[in-house]
Amino acid sequence: MSKKFVLVFSLIIVASMMLAACAKPAPTPAEPVAPAEPAAPAAATEADCAKPEVICIGLVTDVGEVDDKSFNQASWEGVVAGGKEVDAIVNYVETKDAKDYVANMQLFLDKGYDILVTVGFALGDATVEAAKANPDVKFIGVDQFQGEVVPNLAGLIFDEAKSGFLAGVLAGKLTKTKVVAAVLGTDLVPPVVNFNRGYVAGAKWVDPEINVISTYHPGGMDVAFTDPDWGATTARQAIGQKADVVFGAGGKTGNGALIEAASNEGLYCIGVDTDQWETVPEAHKCLVSSATKAISPSIVDLIKMAKDGSFPGGNYIGSSALAPFHDFEAIITQEIKDALDEGLKAYDANAITLPEK
Amino acid sequence: MEQKTPSKNNWLMTIWRTIRVPLLAILSALLVGAVILLVSGADPLKAYAALFKGAFGNANYLKRTLEKTTPLIFAGLSVTFAFKAGLFNIGAQGQLLMGAITAGFLGFAIKGLPPVLHIVLALLGGCAAGAFYGLIPGLLRSYSGAHEVITTIMLNYIAINLTDYLADGPWKDRSGTNVIARLPLIEDSARIPFFGPVPVGFIIAILIAFIIWYMLERTNFGFEINSVGLNSHASRYAGMKTKLLMTSALVVAGLLAGFGGSVETLGVVGRFQPGFNAGLGFDGITVALLGRSNPFGVILSSLLLGAMKGGANVMQFDAKVPHEIIDVIQSMMLFFVTADLVIRKLFRIIKDTGGEVTLTAGWGQK
Amino acid sequence: MIAVAVFSFMKNPSVTEAVMSAMIRFAVPLMLGALCGIYCERAGIVNIGIEGQMLLSAFTAYMTNVWTGNLILALLAGALTGALLGYFLAVISIKLKLNQIIGGTVINILAIGITGFFYQVGMTTKGKFGPIRLGPLAKIPLVGPVLFNNPPITYIAFLMVIISHIIFFHTRWGLRTRAVGEHPRAADTLGIDVFKTRYLNTIIGGALAGLAGAFLTLEGVGTFERNMTNGRGFIALAVMIFGKWNPIGSALAALLFGLANALQTQLQFMGINIPHQFIGMIPYALTIVVVSGFIGRSRSPAAEGTPYEKE
């Protein structure tokens, strides 16, 4: 009796394990990279982090995983790349509970890590505290605006509105229906709001008649970025109202919107944060570009600066730009490129007013 | 002297009998977890060692474990108390949030109070909010038959929306450059202190567990609650006011959850911020079930779960094992606890604590 | 409500169509989930594990899609997963006579743990179900594109609503099931196999929940994400109660919830900024109102939740 029961149960477990095990192994960024320089006499391990000559770089994510195809992942990739540049050992911890920010950072500090990257504005306070308490460690706070300058803490911030603006200009130029859409994570996250503000301004800059329909996920932080079905349905709703360009800016929720746009003929979509051509292949059919924040390259730069002693405390503004056009290179006419250049100039000259939200 | 030995033996036997079920469940769950880890290429021994170290390895780790245990105790007590009356309080999460935000509000809005007074006031406010939030499903269940499982789940969502709104709107922290949706920091006078690594909140939780145990085992009120849970019809025939009792049970359950949320806000976090209390309500159910609906069992199972949560990040750091394995182990534990009851039935092992409670009897009115 | 729809259609056809389409799309998983609940509860089994069933089925459907690229196979995999979990719940409730709410909770936590642990990023699929136009029917204004230009699982959902309604209220099978749910002892004395009925219904219900999960990954989005069900399983319970344990009533309730979501989005599109949390609260508040009997009486099958003991 209970044997049959145990059998069924084990079946379910084994089946799911088999499914996962048989899946094609993914190029996960999950494995921390140990330094592999052939020239080194003996490979340094994590235990040596306390030694001054061994550089160890750590990463603490916001609530979420390091393979989230966006934020956390881009930061981790930056750490890995930067680690290679300076021959460092790298490791990460995924935060599951927001109350663990400090404790997670402490894990690295206890082991004598030299550089610590914390991802997301939610870790802002905790990072400042840790930086002040550990002046010999360099901190890089992604998306953390620094109100005051702490010399060993670089707040890596981006002008999201700028790349949003460029995305809006692109959308404005590409749209034939004069309706463009944006599907956004949540208005509780300032960078997301800034992307939208730039997007709206950009589209209107091209043609004030363009109708920009944008919407934020109604849920709280725990669901707003992990609801791809809502993203897809909302994109569908926008497409039904003649939107032919969809800007997906909201983690996995936004990804859902991109994929939805891709499954329709003749639509364009624009990704966010990183070059989503790489991370959301299902969206290739429509993905013209992405409004990026150069997270990875900026982290690499900061790591190098930390090594050669020119680490900039305070705010460090990384670049924000449009990702390459990949397969859509052909449709980006010179006219469009000129418009983008012009728009960029106007933006940099502070000639653009952004809407409220 | 001769009388001591046999009674001491009995006492040990009773403890063993009570513990063996959950103990076996935990061990089985850890075993399953180890198998899954092996299959995915990790080293279970290393993982579990790191987990343990992360939970108890040093004073800081211990402090975090206790911090995580505290709200679990409250949530577990909340679910347990409702269980005793035959009710399923899935709304611990919502009640907890209401308590947390109220305490967080009173913590920053009132200034210039001496510490003890401020803390007590904020805690009372949080308890009242939680109690009120338990009153709603209690009344609905007693007087219109609406099943508390559904009403409390719905109220959870409403609470999340409401607190999100307040944290991003009228009560938002507008100091400095803050843009995050959260309440301002509470005054220092409202902070619950620590004794070394031990949060005072933890001590409060243990005390409350004692009080609840005493209430259930030694007071009239507790007797009636238990009675309603075991057989509400018979209790009514015996003259007990079942509707009042059921409502009170949910009010107390709400109060406990709200208490937990308040202690968390005032002692650990220092402000109310959405997302800082995620999942505690559901964990309360796990903890209550693992603890066999016994307040002391709840303390132990909360400690276990708190330790697992506390050690998870070290496990990831040292052994490179993703923290989701904790969820799998958690559900396995739950499964084995319930499955173990099966084994008892099959082998007709006499049950030692509590009877089978009729927990479900439909959603709507009868 | 129909008048409002027609009116808004006159004013702005594409918007109305878009909103209605979105309404249906939000509603489908809720509809299927509610049907699952109905099958289980009408037979006397309380199932709060719908959320877990959906999530795990979404995962297996997705993995099968990645592995084989065959959407039909993936759909079957999802339905099968749901059915298996249904069987699991049935064994817990019927054979082992354990508390059904615990059984459901175990399913939920298990699903989160398994899918969270085993999901690896970087896998891609070859696509998802596209819409199938039903010829001339699709040309009827307003109703046409909304109802008759949908992907397969959506059609299946609607069909299942109608079929289920017929089954429960116009067949002997349905009569027996309802009897088992209301008065198992009486049903037993009439010669109905209470246990078998409960088993079968719970398994069928599970398969429907599995379809709901498959919808999310095969039709809705096309990929899987951890926790992507986001509470839809619990809302499905609310939908079921709202619809008074009736397939058609639940379908309408699901559409209502879907409409609330679509409207919320539409309001944002139009630049009207009501704090979205208030709109978000509406479906839940409404459910409480309905469950409490403020809008008509809502009565669940009488014998649900209690294990049946043969004399």
Facing residue for B275 by CB, picked from A104, A147, A222: A222
Same domain, yes or no: A110 and A175: no
Q: State which residues form the domain around A245.
A: 160-293+325-348
Is C227 in Cβ contact with A233 (below 8 Å)? no
C287 to B150: CB separation less than 8 angstroms, yes or no:
yes
Task: Identify whether residues A136 and A237 lie together within a single domain.
Answer: no
Establish if C193 belongs to a structural domain. Answer: yes
Q: Decide if C300 is inside a domain.
A: no
Note whether A164 and A253 are same-domain residues: yes
pLDDT at residue C19 above 70? yes
Q: Tens digits of per-residue pLDDT, C67-118?
A: 887 888 888 999 999 999 999 899 888 887 777 877 888 888 888 878 877 7
- CATH assignment of the domain containing A270: 3.40.50.2300
Among A1, A93, A98, beta carbon nearest to B313:
A93
The verdict on residue C301 lying in a domain is: no
Picking from A125, A157, A189, the residue at the C-terminal end of a domain is A157
C258 found inside a domain = yes
Any domain includes A69: yes
Within a domain: C156: yes
Among A134-148, B204-218, B342-356, C291-305, where is mean pLDDT lowest? B342-356
Residue A122 belongs to some domain of the structure: yes
- b (16+ CB within 10 A) / e for B73-103: bbbbbbbbbbbbbbbbbbbbbbbbbbbbbbb
* Per-residue model confidence as pLDDT tens digits over C204-236: 999 999 999 999 888 877 778 777 887 888 889
Domains and CATH numbers, chain B: 59-323 (1.10.3470)
Residue B330's closest chain C neighbor by CA? Answer: C109
The reply to whether A263 and A186 lie within a common domain is yes
**Nearest-CA distance from B323 to chain A in Å?**
8
State the pairing for strand pair A287-293/A314-318: unpaired
Round to whole Å and give the CA distance between A198 and A188: 17
Catalogue the E-assigned strands of A192-257: 211-216, 245-249
Asked whether the beta carbons of residue C60 and residue A218 sit closer than 8 angstroms, the reply is no
Picking from A127, A115, A156, A142, the residue whose alpha carbon sits closest to that of residue A308 is A115
Which comes out higher in pLDDT, residue B6 or C304? C304
Query: Could you report the per-residue pLDDT of A277-318, keeping only the tens digit for each?
Result: 888 888 888 999 998 888 888 999 999 998 888 888 889 988
Residue B355 pLDDT > 50: no
A26 to chain B, minimum CA–CA distance in Å? 13
**A52, A295, B228, C56 from A87: Cα distances, Å:** 13, 20, 68, 42
Domain termination site, one of A157, A176, A194:
A157
Report, as an integer, the average pLDDT of B215-232: 88
Q: What are the distances in angstroms from CA B174 to CA B100, B169, B171, C115?
A: 20, 10, 9, 39
Q: C-chain residues within 8 Å CB-CB of A219? A: 230, 280
In a domain, C173, yes or no: yes
Touching partners of A (3+ C-beta pairs < 8 Å): B, C
pLDDT number for residue A2 = 46
Degrees (nearest 5) of the Cα angle A16, A18, A20? 70
Binary contact (B313, A2; C-beta < 8 A)? no
Question: Using the beta-carbon criterion (under 8 Å), do B342 and A122 form an inter-chain contact?
Answer: no
Domains identified in chain C, total number: 1
Q: How far is B52 from chain C (nearest CA, A)?
A: 20
CB contact under 8 A, C293 and B365: yes
Whether the CB of A4 is below 8 Å from some CB of chain B: the reply is no
B288-324 as b/e: b if 16+ CB within 10 A = bbbbbbbbebbbbbbbbbbbbbbbbbbbbbbbbbbbb
Percent of chain B clearing pLDDT 90 (strictly above): 25
Task: Looking at the complex, report in whole angstroms how far the Cα of residue B168 sits from the nearest Cα belonging to chain A.
Answer: 7
Residue of C nearest to B161 (CA): C277
pLDDT of residue A1: 40
Q: Is residue C195 part of a domain?
A: yes
- Whether residue A229 and residue C18 make contact (CB cut-off 8 A), yes or no, is no
> For residue A97, is it within any domain?
yes
Contact B317 A107 (CB under 8 A): yes
Of C88, C125, C276, nearest to A282 by CB-CB distance is C125
Predicted confidence band of residue B209 (pLDDT cuts 50, 70, 90): very high
Cβ-based contacts of B36 with chain A (< 8 Å): 13, 17
Residue A6 lies in a domain: no
Residue C298: inside a domain = no
Which of C103, C116, C238 lies at the smallest CB-CB distance from B154? C238
Computed over every residue of chain A, the mean pLDDT equals 82
- Who has greater pLDDT, B139 or C302? B139
Residue in chain B lying closest to A47 (CA): B318
pLDDT digits (tens, 9 = 90+) for B134-151: 999 999 888 887 778 888
pLDDT at B281: 79
A216 at C interface, C-beta within 8 A: yes
Name the 3-class secondary structure at A222: helix
Q: Taking phi first (over 0 means left), then psi (-120 to 50 degrees means alpha), and beta for anything else, what does residue B271 get?
A: beta
* Ramachandran angles phi, psi of A223, nearest 5°: -115, -20
Cβ C122–A231 below 8 Å, yes or no? no
Angle at the Cα of B134 from the Cα atoms of B128 and B136, rounded to 5 degrees: 110
**Touching chains, B (3+ CB pairs < 8 A):** A, C
Residues of B near A (Cβ–Cβ under 8 Å) read 32, 36, 39-40, 60, 64, 67-68, 160-161, 164, 168, 176-177, 179-181, 268-269, 273-276, 278, 309, 312-314, 316-317, 320, 322-323, 335, 339, 342-343, 346
- How many contacts does A have with B, using Cβ atoms within 8 A? 78
**CATH of residue C75:** 1.10.3470
**Yes or no, beta carbons of C291 and B363 under 8 Å apart:** yes
- Residue A12's pLDDT is what? 58
Distance CA C288, CA B151 (A): 6
Residue A153 has a pLDDT of 92
Residue with tokens 């050690």: B311
To the nearest whole Å, the CA of B235 is away from the closest chain A CA by: 35
Q: Give contacts of C112 with chain B, Cβ < 8 Å.
A: 327, 331
Cβ separation of B276 and A121 shorter than 8 Å?
A: no
Write out chain C residues lying below 8 Å of A226, CB-based: 225-228, 230
Shortest CB distance from B161 goes to which of C117, C280, C288? C280
> Does residue B255 surpass a pLDDT of 90?
yes
Query: What mean pLDDT do residues C167-184 have?
Result: 89
Give the Cβ contact number of residue B19 at 10 Å.
Answer: 13
Contacts of A133 by beta carbon, 8 Å cutoff, 6+ apart: none
Note down pLDDT in tens along chain A; length 357 residues: 444 455 455 555 555 555 444 443 333 333 333 333 333 344 566 677 878 778 899 999 887 666 665 678 888 999 999 988 888 889 888 888 878 888 889 889 988 899 999 998 888 888 999 999 999 899 999 988 888 888 999 999 998 889 999 999 999 999 999 999 999 988 777 888 899 999 999 999 999 999 998 888 877 777 777 888 889 888 988 888 889 999 998 888 888 899 889 888 889 999 988 888 888 888 888 999 998 888 888 999 999 998 888 888 889 988 888 888 888 888 888 888 998 898 888 888 887 788 877
Band of pLDDT at residue C5, cut at 50, 70 and 90: low
Are residues A206 and A344 both part of a single domain?
A: yes
Co-location of A164 and A94 in the same domain: no
- The answer to whether residues A107 and A231 belong to one domain is no
Closest residue in chain C to residue B165, using alpha carbons only: C277
Best to test chain B binding among C100, C101, C105, C257 (most B CBs inside 10 Å)? C105
CA distances from A90 to A85, A135, A175, C197 (A): 12, 20, 44, 58
CB contact under 8 A, B275 and A190: no
Give contacts of A67 with chain C, Cβ < 8 Å: 120-122
In contact, B190 and B118? CB cutoff 8 Å:
yes
Q: How many domains does chain A have?
A: 2
Strand ranges of the sheet holding A56-63, from the earlier edge strand across to the other edge: A89-95, A56-63, A115-119, A138-142, A153-158, A314-318
What pLDDT score does B248 carry? 93
Q: Show Cβ contacts of residue C97 under 8 Å, excluding neighbours closer than 6 positions.
A: B345, C307, C309
Residue span of the structural domain in which C273 resides? 2-292
Chain A residue with CA closest to C274: the answer is A218
Are A100 and A168 members of one domain? no
CA distance C146 to chain B (A): 30
Cβ-based contacts of C88 with chain A (< 8 Å): 8-9, 12
Q: Do B363 and C300 touch (CB under 8 A)?
A: yes
Q: Which of A157, A175, A207 is the last residue of a domain?
A: A157
Look at A353 and C246; give whichever has higher pLDDT.
C246
Yes or no: say if B46 and B316 are a contact pair by the CB < 8 Å rule: no
Q: Domain for residue A320, yes or no? A: no
Same domain, A194 and A336: yes
* Residue from the list B162, B286, B324 with its beta carbon closest to the beta carbon of C116: B324
User: What would the mean pLDDT of B148-172 be, rounded to a whole number?
Assistant: 86
| B364 vs C96, C288, C300: nearest CB | C300
